[in-house]
């Protein structure tokens, strides 16, 4: 790097301006204190970054911003907003917690995926609703798939089907099998038994 050109200007109206010119690298560094704000500008041949501090705000404009620290604490008394015009990645090598004292909303205009290499628990102290406009599927590659509740209702607007290598329907009380149309009960071996059996 060659010789730098340094300038300091003092003005009772414009304030103080400090400027450093690096002609070899085509970089100009400027600090302006005008009585209301402090503006730091670094202008190069490709990019320009600025830091503007006022009594109630700080605005940083830069192509790449990096924080390297042991801990970070951010607090906001008002609305907080984080927007990325490209990919946004939030990552933790240890536990991560998202907590809201009010309503929590997560939306995606494309696919959404929730996965874990261990257990996944979804719990609601009130009503839990899961809905798919084009279909809904719950499956397990091993173990037991279980739906448990005080009352259980399975309904299909056009068709309902339950199948398995061995299928069992049981009730500790009354069991009703009814169809408003035709009802078929068929098997290679069919057994109907009970202390009292009524047909017809």
DSSP 72-134: -----SS------SS------SS------SS------SS------SS------SS------SS
User: For residues 55 and 78, what is the distance between their CA atoms, to the nearest angstrom?
Assistant: 18
Residue 139, pLDDT score: 85
CB-based contacts of 27: which residues, under 8 Å, 6+ apart? 21, 42, 43, 44, 45
Task: For 110-129, give one letter per residue: b (16+ CB within 10 A) or e.
Answer: eeeeeeeeeeeeeeeeeeee
User: For residues 65 and 58, what is the distance between their CA atoms, to the nearest angstrom?
Assistant: 14
Residue 2, pLDDT score: 77
User: For residues 134 and 46, what is the distance between their CA atoms, to the nearest angstrom?
Assistant: 49
User: For residues 82 and 77, what is the distance between their CA atoms, to the nearest angstrom?
Assistant: 15
User: For residues 79 and 148, what is the distance between their CA atoms, to the nearest angstrom?
Assistant: 41
Residue 141, pLDDT score: 85
> Per the structure block, which two tokens stand in for 171?
């009730």
DSSP 5: E
Residue 36, pLDDT score: 97
Strands 15-22 and 5-11, bridge-based pairing: antiparallel
CA atoms within 13 A on the CB side of 166: 0
User: For residues 5 and 25, what is the distance between their CA atoms, to the nearest angstrom?
Assistant: 12
Positions in the chain short of pLDDT 50: none
User: For residues 200 and 189, what is the distance between their CA atoms, to the nearest angstrom?
Assistant: 21
DSSP 26: T
Residue 132, pLDDT score: 86
Residue 1, pLDDT score: 67
What is the pTM assigned to this prediction?
0.71
Residue 23, pLDDT score: 95
């Amino acid at each position: 790097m060659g010789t730098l050109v340094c300038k300091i200007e003092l003005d009772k109206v414009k304030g103080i301006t400090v400027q450093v010119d690096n002609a070899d690298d085509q970089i100009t560094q400027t600090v302006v204190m005008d009585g209301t704000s402090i503006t730091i500008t670094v202008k190069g041949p490709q990019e320009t970054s600025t830091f503007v501090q006022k009594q109630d705000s700080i605005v940083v404009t830069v192509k790449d911003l990096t924080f390297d620290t042991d801990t970070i604490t951010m607090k906001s008394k008002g609305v907080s907003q984080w927007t990325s015009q490209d990919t946004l990645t939030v990552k933790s090598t240890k536990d991560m917690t998202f907590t809201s004292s009010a309503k929590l909303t997560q939306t995606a205009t494309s696919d959404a995926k929730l996965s874990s290499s261990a257990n996944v628990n979804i719990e609601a102290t009130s009503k839990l609703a899961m809905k798919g406009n084009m279909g809904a599927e719950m499956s397990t590659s091993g173990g037991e798939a279980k739906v448990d509740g005080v009352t259980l209702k399975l309904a299909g607007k056009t068709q309902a089907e339950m199948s398995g290598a061995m299928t069992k329907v049981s009730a500790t009380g009354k069991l009703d099998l009814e169809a408003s149309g035709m009802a078929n009960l068929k098997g290679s071996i069919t057994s109907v038994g009970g202390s009292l059996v009524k047909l017809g």
